[in-house]
Amino acid sequence: MDWLQYENEKRNLGFINICGVDEAGRGPLAGPVCAAAVILREGQIIEGVNDSKKLSEKKREALFDVIKEEALDYSVAFATVEEIEEMNILNATMLAMKRAVEGLKTSADYALIDGNRLPPLDIPCEYVIKGDAKSMSIAAASILAKVSRDRLCYEYAEKYPQYCFDKHKGYGTKLHVEKIREYGPCEIHRMSFLTKILNNDR
């Protein structure tokens, strides 16, 4: 498999700073959605990088620092719970991706976006379905986004210990649902995601 196929295609068209973009946290019941953008050097392969879902937490944590050190540039951004509630999760995800790309110190001239939708960017871009398993720069972005969001959930676990955010990272696991039913939602829960859970309790 050619991890640089998409990047090299764009370089052959004259683009130089091609960024891969991915998100983490669309599905959870709590917390913000996170996006990351990564620009790699021409021909750069970072050993061990893969779709973040296929890596152990320990491996992701190790690669997080390697990617930040070795990539030409990277950026991590969030869209808040309030923004998710205001504009829905899809639009909030697009906003986080836009912020990640615009947060790069090195201006990207092309963006490869994981998924099947494009954020509103001022540069040419294309989406790549399952891009985190096809593109080195998207896979690197998926790791930065996942680890950044997981670390935030560990902070939530200290602030709201009754919900066990360190165990489920905000996702709708049996444990998390039980805790919501026991304690009720807190300020970082996405209320629009809890309708069925809360309605079942009435």
What pLDDT, on the 0 to 100 scale, is given for residue 13? 97
Mean pLDDT for the stretch of residues 8-13? 97
What pLDDT, on the 0 to 100 scale, is given for residue 87? 97
Mean pLDDT for the stretch of residues 157-164? 97
What pLDDT, on the 0 to 100 scale, is given for residue 12? 97
Residue 136 has pLDDT above 90, yes or no: yes
Please give the model's pTM, rounded to 2 decimal places. 0.95
Mean pLDDT of the chain: 96
* Least confident interval from 63-72, 126-135, 193-202: 193-202
Residue 137 has pLDDT above 70, yes or no: yes
What pLDDT, on the 0 to 100 scale, is given for residue 201? 56
**Domain 5-150 has what CATH class?**
alpha beta
Are 100 and 35 in contact, with CB atoms under 8 Å apart? yes
What pLDDT, on the 0 to 100 scale, is given for residue 199? 83
Share of the chain above pLDDT 90, in %: 94
Share of the chain above pLDDT 70, in %: 99
Mean pLDDT for the stretch of residues 114-141? 97
Are 136 and 46 in contact, with CB atoms under 8 Å apart? yes
